[in-house]
A and B are shown apart, each in its own frame.
Chain A
Amino acid sequence: MSQVTEVVKIRRKVFAELARMAFAGTLEKDIATILNTVVTEEGPRYRCCVHKERAVLHNRINLALSQPMTVSIAEAASAALQGKRVTMPVVNVLPEACDQCPIDKFLVTDACRNCIAHNCMAACPKKAIHVVLNRAYIDKNKCVECGLCKKSCEYGAIIEISRPCERACDLGAIKAGADRRAVIDYEKCVQCGACKTTCPFGAVGDKSFIVQLIQTLKAGKRVYAILAPAFIGQFGFKVKPGQVVEALKKMGFHDVYEASFGADLVTMTEAKELAETLAENPKSFLTTSCCPAFAGMVQKHMPEIANRVSTTVSPMVATGKIIRDKDPEAVTVFIGPCVAKKAEAEETKGIIDYVFTFEELAAMMVGAGINLAEVENTDYHSTASRDGNGFACAGGVTCSVIDTAAIISPEVKIIAQCGEGLAECQKILKQIQSGQISANFFEGMACVGGCVGGPSVMADRRVTGKLVAHFAAESFAEESVQNKPVSELLAKGGHWHRIPS
Chain B
Amino acid sequence: MQKLVLEICVGTSCHLLGSQDLIQMVERFPAEVKNKIELQGATCLGACGKGPNVRINGTILNNMTPEQLQQIICDTI
Residues of A within 8 A of B13 (CB): 16, 366, 371
Contact A460 B12 (CB under 8 A): no
Indicate whether B61 reaches chain A with its CB closer than 8 angstroms.
no
Question: Considering the chains assembled together, what is the distance between the CA atoms of A372 and B44 in angstroms?
Answer: 10
Q: How many A-B residue pairs have CB under 8 A?
A: 65
Contact A236 B49 (CB under 8 A): no
B1-27 contacts to A, CB under 8 A, are: 10-13, 15-21, 24
Contact B44 A16 (CB under 8 A): no
Contact B17 A460 (CB under 8 A): no
Pick the interface stretch among A56-64, A158-166, A357-365. A357-365
Contact A9 B17 (CB under 8 A): yes
Residues of A within 8 A of B20 (CB): 2, 4, 236-237, 458-460
Indicate whether A324 reaches chain B with its CB closer than 8 angstroms.
no
Contact A366 B41 (CB under 8 A): no
CB closest chain-A residue, reference B21: A4
Question: Considering the chains assembled together, what is the distance between the CA atoms of A158 and B17 in angstroms?
Answer: 38
- Choose from A8, A239, A373 the contact partner of B44 (Cβ within 8 Å): A373
Indicate whether A84 reaches chain B with its CB closer than 8 angstroms.
no
CB closest chain-A residue, reference B66: A3
Residues of A within 8 A of B24 (CB): 1, 460
CB closest chain-B residue, reference A37: B49
Residues of B within 8 A of A365 (CB): 12
Question: Considering the chains assembled together, what is the distance between the CA atoms of A377 and B12 in angstroms?
Answer: 15
Contact A238 B41 (CB under 8 A): yes
Question: Considering the chains assembled together, what is the distance between the CA atoms of A236 and B22 in angstroms?
Answer: 12
Contact B18 A366 (CB under 8 A): no
CB distance from B38 to the nearest CB of A (A): 17
Contact A4 B49 (CB under 8 A): no
Q: How many residues on B have C-beta within 8 angstroms of the other chain's C-beta atoms?
A: 17
Indicate whether A153 reaches chain B with its CB closer than 8 angstroms.
no
Beyond A1-B24, A238-B41, whether A371 also contacts B11 by CB under 8 A is yes
Indicate whether A235 reaches chain B with its CB closer than 8 angstroms.
yes
Q: How many residues on A have C-beta within 8 angstroms of the other chain's C-beta atoms?
A: 27
Residues of A within 8 A of B48 (CB): 366, 371
Contact A373 B43 (CB under 8 A): yes
- Choose from B11, B12, B18, B41 the contact partner of A4 (Cβ within 8 Å): B18
CB distance from B71 to the nearest CB of A (A): 17
CB distance from B20 to the nearest CB of A (A): 6
Contact A458 B16 (CB under 8 A): yes
Beyond A4-B21, A238-B41, A373-B43, whether A16 also contacts B16 by CB under 8 A is yes
Contact B15 A458 (CB under 8 A): yes
Beyond A16-B49, A238-B41, whether A372 also contacts B21 by CB under 8 A is no
Contact A236 B17 (CB under 8 A): no
Chain B, residues 31-44, CB within 8 Å of chain A (1/0): the string is 00000000001011
CB closest chain-B residue, reference A9: B17
- Choose from A2, A4, A237, A459 the contact partner of B17 (Cβ within 8 Å): A4
Beyond A1-B24, A373-B43, whether A9 also contacts B18 by CB under 8 A is yes
Question: Considering the chains assembled together, what is the distance between the CA atoms of A142 and B48 in angstroms?
Answer: 56
CB distance from A243 to the nearest CB of B (A): 10
Chain A, residues 1-40, CB within 8 Å of chain B (1/0): the string is 1111000110011001000000000000000000000000
Contact A366 B16 (CB under 8 A): yes
Indicate whether A108 reaches chain B with its CB closer than 8 angstroms.
no
A348-374 contacts to B, CB under 8 A, are: 359, 362-363, 365-366, 370-374
Residues of A within 8 A of B43 (CB): 371, 373-374
Residues of B within 8 A of A13 (CB): 17, 49
- Choose from B10, B16, B41, B44 the contact partner of A359 (Cβ within 8 Å): B16
CB<8 Å pairs between A and B, sample of 24: A1-B24, A3-B21, A4-B18, A8-B18, A9-B17, A12-B16, A13-B17, A16-B49, A235-B12, A235-B15, A236-B20, A238-B10, A362-B15, A362-B16, A363-B16, A370-B12, A371-B12, A372-B15, A373-B10, A373-B15, A373-B43, A373-B44, A374-B11, A459-B20
Chain A residues within 8 Å of B, Cβ to Cβ? 1-4, 8-9, 12-13, 16, 235-239, 359, 362-363, 365-366, 370-374, 458-460
